[in-house]
Amino acid sequence: MILRHGDTGYRVEALQRALVSAGHALEMDGWFGDETEAAVRAIQRAHGLVIDGLAGPKTRAALGGRPDPRRLRQIDLVHAAERLGVELAAVMAVNEVESRGSGLHFGGPRGGQPVILFERHIMRRRLIHYGVAPMPYQQRRPDLVNDKAGGYIGGPREHDRLEAAAALDDSTATGDGAIEAASWGLFQIMGMHWQRLGYASAAAWREAMAATEGRQLEAFTRFIEADHSLLTALRRHDWREFARRYNGPAFEKNDYDTKLAAAYRRHAQQLEVAA
């Protein structure tokens, strides 16, 4: 769960208690106000995290003395913005809205593995791409190969679906196809783009996505560079066009454009604090 300015309740009070223990003078009133946000930013700055004022699992891990060097850093976003020729606040807005807070799982048997979502309808298309008839697989495992989206388990268990799809047989069609049929990391980029984005193989793509969140940001940067219309929309802060191209025609259902616009305004106003 990500806590932000304006939130109230016992979770905010627990965050404030941890911030006080870390040396910040705060009233533990359960309200995420300006002073709490400033303390959160200070912790993020001290640990090299993205300085966005949002208290998610990465910030709480750092507060608990468990910072993870594989997590995204503010300097990573600075370099990405410079490379793309866009405002840092724009890249931070996309990171906030599209990443859902983490590109690597926390804890459990899948702790440290990249966040993925396996798409069974894309797996069917990848089989066809490799010249393999999908129907035998679809009849046997419709949860893994299907002409309709769905079948999601969610969370770390999506890796179970990916591995089961890869093990349908020992061919490239299922091995690489499973990697290509999943969206990966902070920015949920489909694995099928690996070649277009300059990766040596599907396996190299998977290895990069599992390495660090910085490597996931690198994939996002390549993805934007490879699409002139997306890059232009990001430079112009045309959030409606960016969301349409990045999230697909159903972007309005989740208000991606308005969320991106709001996040951009907030980061643009707070960037001096974050510098």
Secondary structure class of 145 (helix, strand, coil): coil
Q: What Rg do the C-alpha atoms of the chain give, in angstroms? A: 20
Per the listing, tokens 């913005």 go with: 81
- Any residues with CB less than 8 A from the CB of 135 and at least 6 apart, and which? none
Q: Cβ(84)–Cβ(91) under 8 Å?
A: yes
Q: Cβ(231)–Cβ(84) under 8 Å?
A: yes
- Residue 104 — φ and ψ, nearest 5°? -130, 140
Domain boundaries, the chain: 1-67
Query: Which residue type occupies 130?
Result: Y
Answer yes or no: pTM beyond 0.75: yes
Q: Cβ(275)–Cβ(258) under 8 Å?
A: no
> Nearest CA to 145 among 192, 185, 177?
177
Q: Which two tokens stand for residue 159?
A: 């890796």
Confidence label for 275 from pLDDT (cuts 50, 70 and 90): very low
Mean pLDDT across the stretch 210-239?
97
Q: Which two tokens stand for residue 239?
A: 């959030």
Q: Cβ(96)–Cβ(54) under 8 Å?
A: yes
Mean pLDDT across the stretch 210-223?
97
125 CB neighbour count, 10 Å cutoff? 17
Mean pLDDT across the stretch 62-66?
88
Q: Which two tokens stand for residue 252?
A: 């309005």
Cα–Cα distance for residue pair 143/161, rounded to 1 Å: 8
Q: Cβ(189)–Cβ(220) under 8 Å?
A: yes
pLDDT per residue as tens digits for the range 167-201: 999 999 999 999 999 999 999 999 999 999 999 99
Q: Cβ(78)–Cβ(144) under 8 Å?
A: no
CATH superfamily of 1-67: PGBD-like superfamily/PGBD (1.10.101.10)
Q: pLDDT at position 271, please?
A: 73
Confidence label for 3 from pLDDT (cuts 50, 70 and 90): very high
Cα–Cα distance for residue pair 239/260, rounded to 1 Å: 6
Query: Which residue type occupies 38?
Result: A
Cα–Cα distance for residue pair 267/62, rounded to 1 Å: 22
Confidence label for 80 from pLDDT (cuts 50, 70 and 90): very high
Cα–Cα distance for residue pair 148/125, rounded to 1 Å: 11
